[in-house]
Chains A and B, each alone.
Chain A
Amino acid sequence: QVRLVESGGGVVQPGTSQRLSCAASGFSFSTYGMHWVRQAPGKGLEWVAVIAFDGSNKYHADSVKGRFTISRDNSKNTLYLQMNNLSPDDTAVYYCAKVLVDGDWVPFGSWGQGTLVTVSS
């Protein structure tokens, strides 16, 4: 079955960088678009970024544009989120999610368990 395992979270200082990873298994990773979605403590879901199955197209939320970059390595079945110039507002659980149907951008058919990023001095 589909398995998505995020890693790379932790406590980081404002202004620094962090890279999150999402290891995928149980499906043909190279044929599905993938997303990052975050959730601040006690708050709702916020979409962060999406990448096409082959990495040819990427879209980022305005709140992270220019600071975060989504990427993927289909040879490693891994999704990434490079986060630069982090601020306390970026504190959240970060989920990776797989689109339900290959060729579509949404919906999010499967989710990982999430990794917590805390930005604090």
Chain B
Amino acid sequence: SYELTQPPSVSVSPGQTASITCSGDKLGDRYASWYQQKPGQSPILVIYRDTKRPSGIPERFSGSNSGNTATLTIGATQAVDEADYYCQAWASSTAVFGGGTKLTV
């Protein structure tokens, strides 16, 4: 079965750029999505189709996907961005999530 691997945690200082990676076999051949989840809340979609932002998501959120790695980048990170982030892809008629990354600001 297809697997996605994320680092368990990433730390960033306020105002700096945070990068969260997601690795999977030939992930670049698939679309990657990213979800943000804050404690006690439901996840929300922040990036889809590798680079697209849903309406209402700040421009500081961006994504890329090439080779075996997709990356979520948060520019000028704010305290409000502290959350768990999950990557996701579609493979063999199943949705796969990465294990999640706790972003500490």
**B positions within 8 Å CB-CB of A:** 1, 31, 33, 35, 37, 42-45, 48-49, 54, 84, 86, 88-90, 93-100
Contacts and interface: CB of A to CB of B under 8 A. Distances in A.
Interface of A: 35, 37, 44-47, 50, 59, 61-62, 95, 100, 105-109, 111-114
B1 A106 contact: no
A108 B43 contact: yes
A11 to B, nearest CB: 20
B100 A44 contact: yes
A114 B94 CA distance: 21
Given A106-B88, A106-B90, A35 B43 contact: no
14 contacts: A35-B95, A45-B37, A45-B86, A45-B100, A59-B94, A61-B94, A62-B1, A95-B43, A100-B48, A106-B33, A106-B48, A107-B48, A108-B88, A108-B95
Contacts of B35: 45, 108
Contacts of A107: 31, 33, 45, 48-49, 88
A109 B45 contact: yes
Contacts of A35: 95
B42 A112 contact: yes
A44 B88 contact: no
A22 to B, nearest CB: 12
Contacts of B43: 45, 95, 108, 111
